[in-house]
Amino acid sequence: MEYLYLLAGLVLILAGANYLTDGSVALAERFRVPGFLIGLTIVAVGTSTPELVVSFLSALEGQGDMAVGNVVGSNLFNVFIILGVCALIRPLPLTRQNIRRDLPVGVAASLVLCAVLADEVLDPTHPARIGRIEGLAMLLLYVLSVWTAARAARREQPAEETPAARPIAGWLMALMIVGGLAALVFGGEIFLHNAVAIARKLGVSESVIAITLVAGGTSLPELASSVVSVVKGRPDIALGNVVGSNIANILLILGLCSTVVPLTPGGIDAVTLGAVVLSSLLLFAAAFTFRRRALDRWEGVLFLAIYGAYLWWLLAK
């Protein structure tokens, strides 16, 4: 039965990603909003719902390490796996606004994560703690980043000059977005639950399950929606989804969790934090390789190789 449920979850994920992408494109065309902004906000926050649920429940149960580990693992998966796969399908172009504003915000968010966890990394006898004040500050930074992006989008010339030939009705557009998100989240939960059950029956260790299936499973909505967006010729939505999800994971999800219940994470070492910062820096650096503003296929291969090396190191230590 687990295999049937696994297949059902995968079908829901793919269907949800398809409708979410179509609804998001229709929304961007209707209001002449850049697709990247839609991906950065609506799609990113919606597909980050599994991370929010897992981290919030873990925080309430006093498992701060699970809450932070889920965010860290998801962010690494988002950049190295999702963008790596998307770049292999089609190079992802980067706009001047991405380079000047959006990607630097992603780098800043990863540095904020390092700052709040620096105590434990520098001195293992002094456990790190993300308190309510830090959580509120992170939430304010998230609101500021979204407000800045929305304000800039109103000033900039939108990428979509021509509205859709046959515009979708507003109610149908909303249904596609909400229904697509619901199918993604629900399908992701079914897939993750049954994948973990199958792995345990096959004798896979809990550590391997946590590192691979939990982090990757909660990122399934981002993976599915990003790949479908690229296949449909909307790499801007895919890029915005990943960048927005990573920012939301750190500033919104950890900020919200630590505001409700202060987090005391453990087991987050300097290499893992360094990998988070490296992922955002490499994505930013992709804009300056070979004088081409794009994440190219060879960079996608590099991202996948880095993630594989990180998993090998994590399992071997």
Collapsed DSSP state (helix, strand, coil) of residue 130:
strand
Whole-number pLDDT of residue 83 = 93
C-alpha torsion sign, points 261, 264, 268, 273: positive
Whole-number pLDDT of residue 174 = 84
Whole-number pLDDT of residue 209 = 58
Collapsed DSSP state (helix, strand, coil) of residue 314:
helix
In the predicted structure, residue 159 carries a pLDDT above the cut 70: no
Q: Closest Cα partner for 40 from 248, 185, 275?
A: 248
Q: How many CB atoms lie within 10 A of CB 200?
A: 12
Whole-number pLDDT of residue 161 = 44
- Report CA Rg, the chain: 19
| Structure tokens, 139 | 């939430």
| Structure tokens, 167 | 């515009």
In the predicted structure, residue 316 carries a pLDDT above the cut 80: no
Say if residues 25 and 214 touch (Cβ distance below 8 Å): no
Higher-scoring residue by pLDDT: 180, 159 = 180
List Cβ neighbours of 261 (8 Å cut-off, separation of 6 or more): 59, 60, 62
Whole-number pLDDT of residue 47 = 66
Mean pLDDT (the chain, rounded): 79
Q: What is the pLDDT of residues 42-93, one digit of tens each?
A: 677 766 766 777 677 777 777 777 778 778 888 999 999 999 999 999 988 8
Whole-number pLDDT of residue 119 = 67
Confidence of residue 263 (pLDDT cuts 50, 70, 90): confident
Whole-number pLDDT of residue 267 = 64
Collapsed DSSP state (helix, strand, coil) of residue 93:
strand
Name, of 31-40, 206-215, 265-274, the range with top average pLDDT. 265-274
Higher-scoring residue by pLDDT: 244, 61 = 244
In the predicted structure, residue 260 carries a pLDDT above the cut 70: yes
- Cα–Cα distance measured from residue 200 to residue 198, given in angstroms and rounded to the nearest whole number: 5
Confidence of residue 303 (pLDDT cuts 50, 70, 90): very high
Whole-number pLDDT of residue 204 = 59
- Cα–Cα distance measured from residue 275 to residue 280, given in angstroms and rounded to the nearest whole number: 9
Domains of the chain from N-terminus onward: 1-153+189-316 (1.20.1420.30)
Confidence of residue 165 (pLDDT cuts 50, 70, 90): very low
C-alpha torsion sign, points 76, 309, 315, 184: positive
Terminal-residue alpha carbon distance, the chain: 35
What is the value of pTM for the model shown? 0.76
| Structure tokens, 254 | 């950890």
Mean pLDDT of 159-170: 55
Whole-number pLDDT of residue 163 = 45
- Cα–Cα distance measured from residue 259 to residue 36, given in angstroms and rounded to the nearest whole number: 29
Whole-number pLDDT of residue 14 = 67
Q: What is the pLDDT of residues 21-53, one digit of tens each?
A: 677 767 766 766 666 677 667 677 766 766 777
Q: How far is CA 293 from CA 92, 181, 290, 296, in A?
A: 9, 30, 8, 9
